[in-house]
Amino acid sequence: MGTNGANPKGPRCIALVGPFQSGKTTLLEAILARTGAVQRQGTTEAGTTVGDASKEARHHKMSVEATFATTTFMDDSYTFIDCPGSIEFIHDMRSVLPAVDAAVVVCEADEKKVPQLQLILRELEDQNIPHFLFLNKIDKADKRVRETLKLLQPASRVPLLLRQIPIWNGELIAGFVDLALERAFVYKEYAPSQIVELKGEDLDREKEARFTMLETLADHDDELMEQLLEDIQPPRDKVFDDLAKELRDRIVCPVLLGCATRSNGVLRLLKALRHEAPTVAETAARLGVKAGSDAVALVLKTFHTTHGGKMSVARLLAGQAGDGTTFNTPAGEAGRVAAVFKLMGQHFDKRGQAIAGETVGFGKLDHAKTGDTLSTGKQAHASLIEVKPYAPVLAIAVHAKERKDDVKLGAAFTKLTEEDPSLRVDHNAESHEIVIWGQGEMHLRVAAERLGDRYAVPVTTRPPTVGYRETIRKPISIRGRHKKQSGGHGQFGDTVLEIRPLPRGSGFKFEDKITGGVVPRNYIPAVEEGVIDGLKHGPLGFPVVDLAVALVDGSYHTVDSSDMAFRTAGRIGIVEGLPQCQPVLLEPIHLVEIVCPSDATAKMNAILSGRRGQILGFDTREGWPGWDTVRAQMAEAEIGDLIIEVRSATAGVGSFTYRFDHMAELTGRTADQIIAARKAAE
């Protein structure tokens, strides 16, 4: 349909999701070609697809962000969102899901990808998103479809409902039977399938498979169950109504067959979406959009375009919006829409007006961010969602290649994190590093590339500094004296310090034990400041912790003593005293929890042991059949690139969280290497 709102279903929004390299981008291309949105179906190999068109996606040959493309099918408007499948870029998928009417899960008969499929399906189930499963690459299937479903079913908490069965020509799949329509189709490459007569063995298989489909539907429909028990053939309309209802109620996940590269099965998928996917009104009700609201929209993605500035991609859930519309968020005014854009991959075309159901780009909403609820009412609509990024698992320290770009780097970080909220930027005051946290090696590599390519700030990266500390083992007493005479007033400060170790985790304690006024009270805070100055860089090269310093004696000069003199004396005392206190290196130890498929648990134990980890135990992961949680204590230095090994050992799905637990002494060769490296860097 156009934008006149004639269709009561309204424009649809459909997410294409699924495991990494399952064919989502190819399916989007096939849909756009079949609906006439592109003249010719492009390929990912040739870099000619609408999806994955960014420089980073083309370079790495993978989806690194969501791609939006709008088309029409049988006069209905659809926006399809091609979502990344890699766990490292999955936040883009999680951000768009709340506002879609349905999702198409693209997968294949590959046992190795079942854990990835489970991650995707769990997210859909948790967010209550109706979803189909499109069994792709059916032309290369080496298993019977029922065997494949048995393989994939453990990944889904709802039944996978087979809607189609293949027609075999020897060892090749030549077409399919639609079990709801009771019709057989033979595939035609890049063209609609041809209807053929259903007979013989194919007819027998269809009857058996159709009865199995109806039995599953009847589990939630007493009338249908009664008809089956009485051997009454239910009307076709009744079957379609049940399919639509149980999809929308998220009771089943219908399974369709196809091959995106050949455009096989695409037309039947589009028809299923047209008849069975929920409407924008149902999606708005699911999200809690208030009835009678003015325009309400949800921001799904933020882009910073080269010439057009900030672009907020949003799904309009109610009302209308156009050029000049002012939106509010619960936090305040989002801004005034400079222009409304239709989306087609990397291309944005001005269109002026949008109606409920459409997914469009709003230009220059300067104060809007991904996940925001936009509304035009005098009182802002309550926030509809909150999608928190997963905890980061890897960090890199980033520096501008040229000092002149330091100021530009700050602005680039702001844009980078607006486009990808799963990135986090920290400023480490101690190490003077800017640290980017992300979801994995490729995630951070793409972030660094974007800083140079999109924002013209080339950067260098390296591992961030580990938070080593040092402490002492032996108490001593030492005098710190500062005396300087250079004409006029001199400088004089004299202190006697007692330095002693404290239990681990105690930090630093300063004690005033002066009696008789040998050091005037007004100078004692300056002594403490000097001691603190000296603790910032201990004899091993790191901040010193877990010790007490007591000022027990000293002397002063009525003319030459000053705060500065006593601060210097305190620092001299601690700097000269610490090397005599048997300094020892401390390293941060964290509690780590790894989640992984159960068949990788033994590998996780080996990885942890190889990284000086102390394994505390493992349990089954609650609510995740076939997964375990492994707990360990591990040094921060060993956690640095742990995620790379974890992902490699788990086909890309393992992850972990960690939190600081305690500081522990580190001695021997490892400590010597760390200390030597620190001194070499000074």
Res 436: pLDDT = 97
Res 7: pLDDT = 56
pLDDT at 1 over 60: no
Res 377: pLDDT = 84
Where residue 8 falls among pLDDT bands split at 50, 70, 90?
Answer: low
435 phi/psi in degrees, rounded to 5: -115, 130
Exposed, middle or buried by CB within 10 Å (0-12, 13-18, 19+), for 498?
A: middle
DSSP per-residue letters across 602-617: HHHHHHHHHTT-EEEE
Section 506-527 average pLDDT: 95
Section 640-667 average pLDDT: 96
Angle, in degrees to the nearest 10, between helices 200-218 and 222-229? 140
Where residue 315 falls among pLDDT bands split at 50, 70, 90?
Answer: very high
Section 598-604 average pLDDT: 96
**Average of per-residue pLDDT values in the chain:** 93
CA nearest neighbour of 592 among 579, 608, 580:
608
pLDDT at 53 over 60: yes
CA distance linking residue 8 with residue 11, whole number of Å: 9
Where are the chain's structural domains?
12-278, 295-341+351-375, 394-454, 469-581, 588-681
- Among 164-168, 183-187, 226-230, 371-375, top mean pLDDT goes to 371-375
Res 378: pLDDT = 84
The tokens 């349990």 sit on which residue?
A: 619
Res 6: pLDDT = 44
Token digits of residue 290: 């208030």
pLDDT at 421 over 70: yes
pLDDT at 521 over 80: yes
Section 407-418 average pLDDT: 94
Same topology, domains 394-454 and 588-681? Answer is yes
CA distance linking residue 118 with residue 103, whole number of Å: 15
> Per residue in 467-485, pLDDT tens?
999 999 999 999 999 998 7
> Per residue in 536-589, pLDDT tens?
999 999 999 999 999 999 999 988 999 999 999 999 999 999 999 999 999 999
* 102-111, 162-171, 653-662: least confident range: 162-171
Res 87: pLDDT = 94
Section 392-405 average pLDDT: 94
CB 361 within 8 A of CB 343: yes
Q: Measured between alpha carbons, how far is residue 30 from residues 23, 52, 264, 358, 602 in Å? A: 10, 14, 9, 21, 42
The CA angle 620-658-466, to the nearest 5 degrees, is: 150
* C-alpha dihedral, 562 to 564 to 565 to 570, nearest 10°: 120
CB 57 within 8 A of CB 153: no
Res 142: pLDDT = 77
CA nearest neighbour of 494 among 557, 431, 421:
557
CA atoms within a 13 Å half-sphere pointing along the CA-CB vector of 300: 30
Is CATH 3.40.50.261 correct for 469-581?
no
Res 571: pLDDT = 97
pLDDT at 2 over 50: no
pLDDT at 403 over 80: yes
Res 682: pLDDT = 78
CA distance linking residue 426 with residue 439, whole number of Å: 15
User: Looking at the domain 588-681, which fold is it?
Assistant: Alpha-Beta Plaits (3.30.70)
- What CATH number belongs to 394-454? 3.30.70.870
> Per residue in 264-290, pLDDT tens?
999 999 999 999 999 999 999 999 998
Res 379: pLDDT = 84
Section 146-172 average pLDDT: 90
Please give the biggest Cα pair distance in the chain.
115
pLDDT at 494 over 50: yes
- What CATH number belongs to 12-278? 3.40.50.300
pLDDT at 68 over 90: yes
> Per residue in 322-376, pLDDT tens?
999 999 999 999 999 999 999 999 999 998 899 999 999 999 999 999 999 999 9
CA nearest neighbour of 164 among 155, 153, 177:
177
pLDDT at 525 over 80: yes
CA atoms within a 13 Å half-sphere pointing along the CA-CB vector of 139: 13
pLDDT at 488 over 90: no
CA distance linking residue 104 with residue 89, whole number of Å: 18
Res 455: pLDDT = 92
Pick the CATH number of 295-341+351-375 from 2.60.40.1180, 2.40.240.20, 2.40.30.10, 3.40.50.300: 2.40.30.10
Section 65-92 average pLDDT: 96
pLDDT at 487 over 80: no
Phi-psi region of 626 (alpha: psi -120 to 50; beta: other; left: phi over 0): left
Q: Where are the beta strands (DSSP E) in 364-450?
A: 373-375, 394-400, 424-428, 433-438
Res 475: pLDDT = 97
Section 202-206 average pLDDT: 87
Token digits of residue 450: 């974007």
